[in-house]
Amino acid sequence: MEKEDKIENKSVIEESNVEDSKIINSDVDDSKIEDSKIIESEVEDSSVKDSVVENADIDKSKIVDSELSSEDSKITKKEIAKKQNKQLMWAIILMTSMILIIVLVPYINKNIINKFEYNHLDFFKAKRGGVWVYFTEIPRIDQQGNSLDPFYLELISDPREIDSIPVELKKDSIVFQRSKDIFLSINPDMEVCPHSVNGVGGITQLLTRFGLMNVRGAQSTEEGAEENRLLFANCQSHPDNTVIMFNSGNETKIEQTSENCFEITYANCEIVEVSEKFMLEVVGDYMNLFVEMVPGY
């Protein structure tokens, strides 16, 4: 009986130990599970933290990149604006230069390169119908000293180039008998040249329109005048009138043969040149008087 009680107690103790072992194992397992959960939680928390840190780093990197990109964008915009301003400046300079060239070149050509003074007058060189001409404006005043519209004079010859044509006068200037007819008399036997009309016509216009004289055309021989049904006039037939006689010869020159007689002789068809030289002599005499009468001109 006593032996059975011992066996039974031993069995109870063993069962109790088993139970305790189970409890301990259960507690250990639970502890391990809890520790595992805690570790996993900590790992997850750590992962989350790392993820947050990574995301934060990424966000910071994005912010930095964005700021750098913004700075680069600002720099690029500044460079573009600077480049555009420089291009605009050059465009303005080029446009201004073109305008100046368009405006100044004609002005320089007219007033500097193609301008010169002769006989107190400003002459200008220009093209008319493909031909170079030389023109000026002759100032005029009335008997009371009031200004009148200037007379426009246009020449084919350069006044400076025909200045060397000989002029032989009995007085210091050419004097016209203005109260009587002025005769332009042509020798019918003189050499015919392409621009003969221009030479004679230039003198006619100057004396009639500018000098306000009565000019008549004539021929210097009776035979020629009768044949061509023109007026006959020469220095011998009309000694009291101013007679300008045209003839060809061996030398281009202007000569005063008597008080009222002027002979214009041309060689090598230089009738335009010698005619315009005569015109310049007339204008030169007028300008000398004009400068004396108008102080400060």
Domain that holds residue 214: 167-293
- Whether 144 maps to a domain, the answer reads no
Counted domains in the chain: 2
The answer to whether residues 173 and 289 belong to one domain is yes
Six-digit token pair at 194? 């392409």
The residue from 82, 113, 144 where one domain ends is 113
- Whether 151 maps to a domain, the answer reads no
Note down pLDDT in tens along the chain; length 297 residues: 444 444 444 444 455 444 555 544 444 455 554 555 544 555 455 554 555 445 545 555 555 456 556 665 666 777 777 777 877 888 888 888 788 777 766 665 555 678 999 999 999 999 988 899 999 999 998 878 888 999 999 999 999 999 999 999 998 899 999 999 999 999 999 999 988 888 999 999 999 999 999 999 999 999 999 999 999 999 999 999 999 999 999 999 999 999 999 999 999 999 999 999 999 999 999 999 999 988 877
- Parallel, antiparallel, or unpaired: how do β-strands 115-118 and 121-128 relate? antiparallel
The answer to whether residues 64 and 175 belong to one domain is no
Radius of gyration for the alpha carbons in the chain, expressed in angstroms and rounded: 59
- Whether 127 maps to a domain, the answer reads no
Residue range 69-81, pLDDT digits in tens: 666 566 677 777 7
**Alpha-carbon distance values, 41 to 44, 135, 177, 187, 294 (Å):** 5, 110, 137, 137, 119
